[in-house]
Amino acid sequence: MLRAQTAGPSAIVPDSTLTVSLLTCSPGQEVYELYGHTALRVRSSKTSTDVVFNYGVFSFDQPHFVWRFVLGQCDYLVAPCDFDLFMYEYRRRGSSVTEQVLNLSEAEANALAHALIENCRPDKRTYRYNFLTNNCTTKARDIIEANIDGEVLYPERAPRYTFRQLIHQFTVGHPWAQEGNDLLLGVDMDTLVTPRAEMFSPIYMMHYADSAMISSFPNRYRPLVRQTNILLAANAEAAAADAARQPSFPLTPVQLGWVLLLLSVALVAWEQHRGRALWGFDVAWMLLQGLAGVLVSVMLCWSTHPGVSSNWLFVVLNPLPLLALPLVVRSDIRGRECLYHRGAALVLTLFLVAVPFAKQKFSALVVLLALCLLSRAVSHLLLYRKVKSERVKSEK
């Protein structure tokens, strides 16, 4: 996806030499580049016009961009771009660009070009972006289908992947991006999807288009793609340089989870040895848990992103620790029991038992974090039991 575009589609003049191509760009290293990109190229040898229509334009400078993105209210737009300028960005980052020249009649090519120009009008160019159902790829597919004299038939196959599995295919090598998706996406992402739903991905769309046929009445068929060209081959050296420019964290999410679990176990041992709770650690841990729970809750209740409203992780990550924190700290300081820990131990134990059987697929990090939280609750319960036992002995 590009963040800046220039050029004017008004230079396109309908003629017999007009061709329209589907462009598929391989993934980059930024989070919004991991899935690749799709655009439409319109060319005329008669007028030397060569314009790319890009449905992936957005700006971080939009008011409240991050907040709108969280709520699924982010607007993208379609904009024209000079072909050479479009190619420059992908050449710089080492991505490949594949062109599929569409097998269109003169009337279809001109109708599609006209529709793209109309879409670029200020009152029509903006659309509500949806990562899985209304993105740069689905918009390109839909406008192609709407301007063909007939019906586009794609290869039929049984559902084979869930959305979570498809997303994982493109986040290999980017564990933090993958973990962020897994933490926010709910059980709806773990049901098998139709081949058409797979076309949210530029790479999958390219493969489906390659085998698609146009069906016209009566019983006439022709391939959707007339010719495939590799406009830009992948450049491993440039891709490596682009990857090196990206910020990185020394640990993967799972490695960090193990570090936190080992730290939690060590603290349990220290607390049992000393006979008192480390309330400062409780403050830090419950603040992080509660703030993460606020994000999950906001996504669960108000976001329009697909799949986030069915997130069972809410059982573990919710705002309750923020409300219970003062009671927990007060109990820690006074050495008294807090019912919060009994409830937390019960809920976390049931959650961990249910994980292998749940319809929603949870990552290893979620299990490790749940064990960390459970260790804190168990440590407090053991301390309360120890204190209670000592009081009984003293009373005797």
pLDDT of residue 66: 67
CA distance 97 to 230: 6
Q: What is the pLDDT along the chain (396 residues), one digit of tens a residue?
A: 333 333 444 445 567 889 999 999 999 988 889 999 999 999 998 888 899 999 998 876 667 766 777 778 888 999 999 999 999 999 999 999 999 999 999 999 999 999 999 999 999 999 999 999 999 999 999 999 999 999 999 999 899 999 999 999 999 989 999 999 999 999 999 999 999 999 999 999 999 999 999 998 777 899 999 999 999 999 988 888 887 787 888 999 999 999 999 999 999 999 998 888 888 889 999 999 999 999 999 999 888 888 899 999 999 999 999 999 999 999 888 878 889 999 999 999 999 999 999 999 999 999 999 999 999 999 999 988 876 776 656 665
pLDDT of residue 14: 62
**DSSP category for residue 224:** S
Residue 87 three-state SS: helix
pLDDT of residue 395: 60
pLDDT of residue 91: 94
Provide the phi-psi class of 335: left if phi over 0, else alpha when psi is between -120 and 50, else beta: left
pLDDT of residue 74: 84
pLDDT of residue 1: 30
Which residue segments constitute the domains of the chain, with CATH numbers given?
A: 9-159+194-244 (3.90.1720), 253-391 (no CATH)
In DSSP terms, 75 is beta-bridged to 128
pLDDT of residue 242: 81
CA distance 99 to 113: 17
pLDDT of residue 390: 66
Count other C-beta atoms under 10 Å from residue 266's C-beta.
11
The secondary element (H helix, E strand) that includes residue 346 is helix 339-354
Question: Is this prediction's pTM over 0.95?
Answer: no
pLDDT of residue 115: 96
Count other C-beta atoms under 10 Å from residue 234's C-beta.
13
pLDDT of residue 394: 66
CA distance 314 to 131: 22
Residue 129 three-state SS: coil
pLDDT of residue 211: 96
pLDDT of residue 344: 95
Look at residues 313, 321, 257, 265 and name the one whose alpha carbon lies nearest to residue 289. 321
pLDDT of residue 153: 96
pLDDT of residue 65: 67
Tell me the two tokens of residue 247: 């910020």
Provide the phi-psi class of 278: left if phi over 0, else alpha when psi is between -120 and 50, else beta: beta
